[in-house]
Amino acid sequence: MSAILVYALHYDGAFNKNSLGAVSEGAKLASELGTECHAIVVGEGVSDELASSLGNYGASKVYRVEGPEGLAQPVVDAMAAAIEAGGHSYALFGGGLLGFEIGAGLAARLDAGVCMEVTNVRVEDGKLVAERPILQDSQISSVHYRSKVGVIIGRLNAFEINETGGTATVEDLAVEFRPHSLKAKMVSRGEQRGADVNIEDADVLVAGGRGLGKKEGFDMLEELAGALGGAVAATRAVVDAGWYSYSAQIGQTGKTVAPKLYLAAGISGAIQHKVGMQASENIVAINKDSNAPIFEFSDLGIVGDLNKIVPKLTEAVKAKKS
């Protein structure tokens, strides 16, 4: 059984969380299949230390390729070369923009089957079967590969990080990049634009609705979000009322999010809002109306006055974290 090759994205001397999750997942699946998990890193002057650290997440070998950073197409060339040399059966990616771009390009290059937004991978008859949610997460479909190589692209935060304490050998791989792969050049990378926090990427969201009573209610939500290390979101009703900005609106006519924690304060949970956040991993709701529909799909519901609960919760969270 041939090995699994996992792409690992790095920036500024550290690996991306989703990539580490993918390596851990690759290692787990490789061991079930009775094969190895390899990783591949593409960058400029990647240190031995950095590359071999992937051994701690279960990779037995790390291919290191000297090439442009932050762009997908050179990585397609690199992975195609590695797979040609190493005969891997699966290419695995953690969630994120580059994972999509590289995985798709690789599927084209290798004439391979590809599945994206994968939330789970299982072993069946010595092969990997990817599972992905479809139709707004209302169903899970299983994807079977019918090609020499299978490309698996995970959903954001789908794969859990697992440190195994192992080691990896680093193998330098020389890759000749296709001309088109070098026609996109990075001018500046990773610019932070403070004001617009992208709520779609936040791990924690604290969302406010009409139940806050007034615009100033968002002040206390911002404090709670700060304490939890997250961002603030809002329902359509309060955005309409001018209490918060449209860029934070969640729902049918706003953004769709799936953070690890969605804390909804003063939100009734009408379906127009629900469709924007129902895939959140953990939903906590605070509302004074015990009949609010949100309590039908929250994981933890608190019936009570948010003006009393939220400030105390913020204090308690800060205390716990320190």
Partner 1 sequence: MSAAPSQFPPPVDSAKEFVGPPTDPEDERIEVGVAIVGGGQAGLACAIRLLQLLQDDEALTERLGEVPVAVIEKGRVAGAHQLSGGVMNPSAIRTLLPDDDSWPHWGEVSKETVYFCTKRRAIPLKPTPPPFRNHGNYVVSVAELNRWLGEKAEELGAYILSETAGHKLLVENGTVVGVRTGDKGRDKSGGEKSNFEPGSDVIAKATVLAEGCWGHLTGAALKALDLAPKDPQVWALGVKEVWEVPKAFDKIVHTLGWPLRWGAKWQEFGGSWIYGMNREGETPKVSIGFVTGLDYTDARLSVHDVLQEFKQHPLVRKILEGGERKAWGAKAIPEGGYWAMPTLHAPGMVIAGDAGGMVNVPKLKGIHYAIESGRLAAETIYEQLKQGSTDFSAYERKVHGSQMGKELYESRNMKQPFSKGLIVGGAITNAMVVTKGRFPGGHWATHRDAEAPLTLTDRHKRYPKPDGKYTFDKLSGVFLTGNATRDDAPSHIRIQQRVPREVAEGWAWMCPAGVYELPEDAPEQGMVDLIVNPSNCVQCGAITAKGGRLTPPEGGDGPVYQIT
Partner 2 sequence: MKICVLVKEVPDAAVEKRIDPSTGRLDRSGEKNLNPFDTHAIEAAMQLKEGGALAVDEVVAVTMGPSTATRALQKAVSLGADRSVHLSDDALAGSDVNGTGYALAKVLEAEAPDLVLLGQQSDDGECYTIGAVVADHLAMPSLTQVIKIDVEDGALRCERQAEYGYDTVMVELPAVISVGDAINEPRYPSLKAIMGAKKKPLDAKSAADVGIDPSRVGYDNARAHCTDFAAPPAKEPGQIIEDEDTNETVEKIVAWLDERKLLA
Q: Which residues within the stretch 234-253 sit at the binding site for partner 1 (CB under 8 A)? A: 236-237, 239-240, 246, 249, 252-253
The β-bridge relationship of strands 113-118 and 150-154 is: parallel
Residue 237 binding: pick among partner 1, partner 2, none (C-beta 5-8 Å cut-off by kind):
partner 1
Stretch that binds partner 2, among 20-28, 42-50, 67-75, 232-240 (CB under 8 A): 67-75
Which tokens sit at 116?
A: 């994206």
Contacts of 292 (CB under 8 A, 6+ apart): 267, 268, 269, 285
Sequence length of the chain is 322
Q: Which residues within the stretch 195-234 sit at the binding site for partner 1 (CB under 8 A)? A: 210, 213
CA-CA distance, 38 to 60, in Å (whole number)?
6
- Identify which of residues 270 and 302 has a Cβ nearer to partner 2 in the complex: 302
Site string for partner 2, 35-64 (x = CB under 8 A): ------------------------------
Binding to partner 2 by residue 140, rule CB under 8 A?
Answer: yes
Q: Which residues within the stretch 258-277 sit at the binding site for partner 1 (CB under 8 A)? A: 270-272, 275
Chain Cα centroid distance, residue 84: 28
Binding to partner 2 by residue 122, rule CB under 8 A?
Answer: no
Binding to partner 2 by residue 117, rule CB under 8 A?
Answer: yes
Binding to partner 2 by residue 253, rule CB under 8 A?
Answer: no
- Identify which of residues 213 and 304 has a Cβ nearer to partner 1 in the complex: 213
Region label for 124, one of left (φ > 0), alpha (ψ between -120 and 50) or beta (otherwise): beta
Binding to partner 2 by residue 125, rule CB under 8 A?
Answer: no
Q: How many C-beta neighbours within 10 Å does residue 71 have? A: 19
Binding to partner 2 by residue 181, rule CB under 8 A?
Answer: yes
Cβ–Cβ < 8 Å for 104, 73? no
Region label for 251, one of left (φ > 0), alpha (ψ between -120 and 50) or beta (otherwise): left
Q: Which residues within the stretch 116-135 sit at the binding site for partner 1 (CB under 8 A)? A: none
CA-CA distance, 78 to 67, in Å (whole number)?
9
Size of the site for partner 2 (CB under 8 A): 88
Q: Which residues within the stretch 283-312 sit at the binding site for partner 1 (CB under 8 A)? A: 291, 293, 296
Binding to partner 2 by residue 300, rule CB under 8 A?
Answer: yes
CA-CA distance, 284 to 280, in Å (whole number)?
10
* Sole binder of partner 2 in the list 174, 193, 195, 291 (CB under 8 A): 193
CA-CA distance, 58 to 39, in Å (whole number)?
9
Site string for partner 2, 262-291 (x = CB under 8 A): --------------------xxx-----x-
**Residue found under tokens 């890193």:** 41
Contacts of 114 (CB under 8 A, 6+ apart): 103, 104, 106, 107, 150, 151, 152, 153
Binding to partner 2 by residue 233, rule CB under 8 A?
Answer: no
Q: What is the binding site for partner 1 (CB under 8 A)?
A: 210, 213, 236-237, 239-240, 246, 249, 252-254, 270-272, 275, 291, 293, 296
